[in-house]
Each structure stands twice: as structure tokens, then as C-alpha cells.
Chains A and B, each alone.
Chain A
Amino acid sequence: MSIQVRHLRKAFGDFVALDDVSLDVPGGELVALLGPSGSGKTTLLRIIAGLEPADQGTILFHGEDATAQPVRERQVGFVFQHYALFRHMSVFENIAFGLRVRPKAVRPSDAEIRETVMGLLKLVQLDVLAKRRPSELSGGQRQRVALARALAVKPKVLLLDEPFGALDAKVRKELRRWLRRLHEEVHVTSVFVTHDQEEALEVADRVVIMNEGQVEQSGTPEEVYESPATPFVYGFLGDVNLFHGRIDHGRVSIGEGELEAPEWADARDQAGVAYVRTYDVQLHPSPTINGSLEGVVRHVRAFGPVVRIEVDLVEGGRTIEAHLPRDQFDRLSLAKGQRIYVSPTNVRVFARKEG
């Protein structure tokens, strides 16, 4: 089932959490809401679930207006960041809860409930722990119970709030791969909130990047990573270097050096910021013809397949970071204090408001 969000607005006192947010989640997809804390992503998720009312705007489930529908009628599954398992109930009863509270007429029999719950426990690979209390489980196990509990009511939409936020790095990686596989199995429209770009890019079919209550960009992981639409997205996804300079006739001047910016051919002496990914920074032992910036190697971290190098630019005193493949690093045989020439490639220039 698809979800459409139209012109949503929500404020908490003076703080505007969501400012005219519109969003489309196609049926069956796994979508990540990605953004820094305070960007409004959790608020958006809670409004979609019905846990929070919106000030303005509409939510459509499969084309039908669900804005005024109470939470318990929306048939959503919600997985809370801290799991929110019922602490006095066993794992089995936690998962069975959604079925047990149904009105008598539509409540499954005890045998049916048992079958559903045991099936879900198998799905989340916890069938041996049915009788345990939540306090006797590890964080990763609890999160899986929370997921099974949400799936038990056969939700039309699955919403997950920072599902792996409270777990340590290793369990996190395992669980997100597992979530991906689970989604391929049950195929329910899912939206999850995260502040971890790696998590979003790795797991989701589509990533929605939010900042200060607005959607900055939405697209496939490749789209948002390869062609960020706004400076914010550029800065938020992946490691990036910034160059402040002036754009004029398709070139950006940064101190003495210059960068090509063909898309700004019409610009006349305008303030701009150039964004360059760390792996798009080329290092040369001598100056190159098409503009390079002189610098001195400040620091080298040479572990793993990618070598991270910090270079102090002679002009302007800025430090930039370059990530080189190991073989290239070995060829350059760089050392601390060495003079080097930097030429950024794949530069993306955004105009900057003068102020």
C-alpha cells in the first residue's frame, strides 16, 4: 500500500518540526528518512502512524485520506527506538497482544493466535525464546521481538523509528542486512527513520533526506549520493571538502587557484561554494596544467585499503582531506611535510547568498 504525504506542517510551540513536507512512498518499497537530529524525521513518522496530529496537511494511504483516522484503525505497524516491549509479558504474549485485543467478532482463536505467533517467532529466529521476559533478551533480540509484534497484526504499512539506534555497531550491521532480507520476504510498505547515512544507503530502496523540517532530496541511494540536489545533501552524505570562492564566467576562483564550473557560464562575480568528494581529490607531485592548488601534507592515516591524507593549502590556510586507493598512495610515496599539488575533480558548485 502506498503512502502519500501532502503539505504537512507541524510546530511544537515556536519550533517548526515540519514545514510543508510532501512525500510519496510507493507500495511495497523500503524507504529511509535520513537526517540529523531535529530535522523532523521522527515527527513525520509519528504523524504518518497517527501518534501525533498534524497542524496542516494530509496523509493518504493508498489514495484514501487517513489524516483524521485514529491510530488504532490505521493498521500500521510501529517499531519504537527503545522497542517499547511490554515488560511484564513474555515474548509470546508481546507478539500476541495485537491479536488478543481485537473485538470478539474478529479475534482469532487461541490456536490461530498460537500458530501466527510461533510462525513470526520462526521468521525472526527467536522461537526458542517464546517464554522469556523482554528483560532477559539482548538488544538485538528485543528489536526482533518488536518487529514480530508489529508484523503480527498484518499491518498495511510498517514504520520503524531508528530501529537500530540503540544497538552496538556489529549487531546493527547484522540486523540491517536481516531487515533487508525480511522486507524482501514480507514485502510490506516500510518507512524507517535513521541518522546513519550508511544504514540508509545500504538498506533502503529510496532515501528521503530531511533537514530543518523540510525534504532536501528524495531518490534512490545512487541518485542522492551521486548527484546531491542541495549543498546540505552534499555535506550530509559522504565525506566532502568545501571551497569558498567567487564564480565568474564558468570558473571558480579560490585564492590563487581556479576550478572549472561549466554550469555557471553565465555567472558574473558571484559568491559560491564548491563541493568536492574526498575521493575526487587528485594529488600530484608537480603542478598540473588545468589548475591545481599548492599544499603541504599534514597528516597521513595509512590503514586499510583507503589512505586518508590531510593537506594544508598554502593559499588561505585551509585543510582539505583526500582519500586515495592504496596503490596510488604507494606510487606517490607521500610523507608528512611534503609539498604536493591538489586538483579537485567532479566539482559541484552552489551559489551562496551574499551577506
Chain B
Amino acid sequence: MATIAISRSATTAPRAITRATGESPVVRWTLTALALGFLALTLVLPLALVFHEALAKGFAAYLAAIREPDALSAAKLTLLIASIAVPINLVFGVAAAWCVSKFEFPGKHLLITLIDLPFAVSPVISGMIFVLLFGMHGWFGPWLFDHDIKIIFAVPGMVLATTFVTAPFIARELIPLMQEQGTEEEEAAIVLGAGGWQTFWRVTLPNIKWGLLYGLILCNARAMGEFGAVSVVSGHIRGETNTLPLHVEILYNEYAFAASFAVASVLTLLALVTLTLKTLVEWQQRRQTAELAEDPSSPERIAA
């Protein structure tokens, strides 16, 4: 017995078995340090800087910068634009995902590509499109002028630009999800006597709710933070067509650094809230997919 034990330890002791993909400690630590350093420099430092600069002249000055009438009106406008653009994209996104994933029709792939267009073009170009369409020298400009309708350098144009830029978020999130889920549950509901709306509210929507919420959060974050496209169509009229991101720029250009960073910190806080919400929703979504994966009727299990 004893001899056996000794011989075994003698053969295994000199070489610790490492995983084939394992690296030496030096490489591991260097890579980790590099990654962390990069992260600190590009993500954590700017974040800290925003709050540091915002509070550079004290908390009172910070509050004053946020409460200043132009800042408040910018915040109001930002909320207004988001509250119009996000619901429009909610309806558009669900409708587009629904028709792409539940029906077969010619031109489907073209539609999927078109949905991505706002992501593909630079936001500045997106803004320019609307100026070219509705501006004084644009296609519809003279007609709009005759009827006294103002779109460019006014709120409607900013809503349009924001809606355009944020259009893909919800549809993009829902299309793969709904394609994966297929149409069987909807068919089952219809055979059981459910109408179109009943099927949507009782079967489709509950199945996509987490994906939808995720898309909504991202869409909202972008709608509030959009700069390029909105900047082109806004005209930068203080207290009228300034959103928070534009206001930050104006303040900065006027060397009002503390105020500029104070307003920026509001947007940053918004981003942090968005990230938290996003993580929560992702977690919920993963739980749901895990449930789905246990489902022995899911296609992968059948194939195996």
C-alpha cells in the first residue's frame, strides 16, 4: 500500500498539470493590467472628471448651473423630444419586428437592411437629410414657409431627427427574438379562437416583454443623448431649441466649464441609471432564456 502511494506521488508531483489554454502567470498579469489600465484611462477617468469638474466651484454653484432657466428649458426639451420619439419608435419597432418575423413577403431583406440605415450613416448626415427636405431651400421648404409651418430650427425637426436616429434600437432587439420564437404560439392562439389583438396582448407581448424593455431603455438613452443630428436641425436658440447635450456644448464654448460639466453630469447620471436598468433587464432576459434552454421542445434539443 505505502509503496504504491509513494510511487504515485513521485510520478505526479514534478509536473503540475495546466489547462491547454492556460498562460504563464507573467502573461496573465500583464494582460490583465493592460486591460484594467486601458479601462481606467478611457472609462473611469472621464467619468470621475465629469463629476470633479462639475463640483469644482462647490455644490452651490453646481445646483445653480442646473437650475439656471436655460438649463431647465434644455432639460424640458430633452424630455419632450424623448417622450415623443421613444413611443413612435416603440410602435414602429414592434410593428416592423412583427411583420419581419411573422410573415414572408418579397422585399423583406431590403426592409431589414433599411431598418439599419440610421446606424449606418453619420448622425450629421441624418440631420442634413432633414434640412435638405424641410429647410428653406429644401424640397418642401417653400411650401412649408407659405403655410407658416416651421420644422427646421424648431422642435418638430428635432423630434424628427431624434426619431430617425433612434429608429433601429427596438426593432433590432426584437427581430432576432421574435424570429427565434417562431409563429407556433400565435397559430395556437388563433386556432383556439383568439382575435388578432388578443393574440398580440396575451401571447406575443408577454413573450417579448424583456427584449422590448431592453430596446426601450437603449432607445431612450440615445434619444436623450443624441447630439449630431439634433445639432444640425436645432439652430441652437437658447431656451427654445437647446437640448441638454447642445446646452453642454454652448456652455463649454463660452468657457463656463463648471456649469458645462454640471449639466454634463446630469446626462452622465442618466447614463448610469440606464446602465443599471439595462443590466437588470439583461439579467431577467437571461433567466428567461435559461428557462427556454431547459425546454426539451426547443429545436436544438430535438436535433440532438
Contact = CB atoms under 8 A, between A and B. Distances in A.
Interface of A: 49-51, 71-72, 76-78, 80, 82-88, 97-98, 101-102, 133-135, 138-139, 142, 149-150, 152-153, 166
A195 to B, nearest CB: 14
Interface residues of B, number: 24
B274 interface: no
Nearest to A72: B193
Nearest to A95: B192
A139 B296 contact: yes
Interface in B29-73: none
A72 B202 CA distance: 16
29 contacts: A50-B191, A71-B191, A72-B190, A72-B192, A72-B194, A78-B188, A80-B184, A82-B184, A82-B297, A82-B299, A82-B302, A84-B184, A87-B185, A87-B291, A97-B189, A97-B194, A98-B192, A98-B194, A101-B189, A101-B192, A101-B194, A101-B195, A135-B291, A135-B294, A142-B297, A150-B192, A152-B192, A166-B296, A166-B297
Given A135-B295, A166-B302, A86 B188 contact: yes
A302 B274 CA distance: 70
A120 B297 CA distance: 22
Interface in B166-188: 184-185, 187-188
B120 interface: no
B206 interface: yes
Contacts of A76: 191
B203 interface: yes
Interface residues of B, dominant DSSP: helix
Contacts of B198: 101
Interface in B281-304: 291-292, 294-297, 299, 302
Contacts, number: 80
B207 interface: yes
Contact of A72 (B195, B203, B207): B195
Interface of B: 184-185, 187-195, 198, 202-203, 206-207, 291-292, 294-297, 299, 302
Contacts of A85: 185, 188
A102 B207 CA distance: 21
A138 B296 CA distance: 8
A83 B193 CA distance: 17
Contact of B187 (A51, A134, A139, A142): A51
Nearest to A152: B192
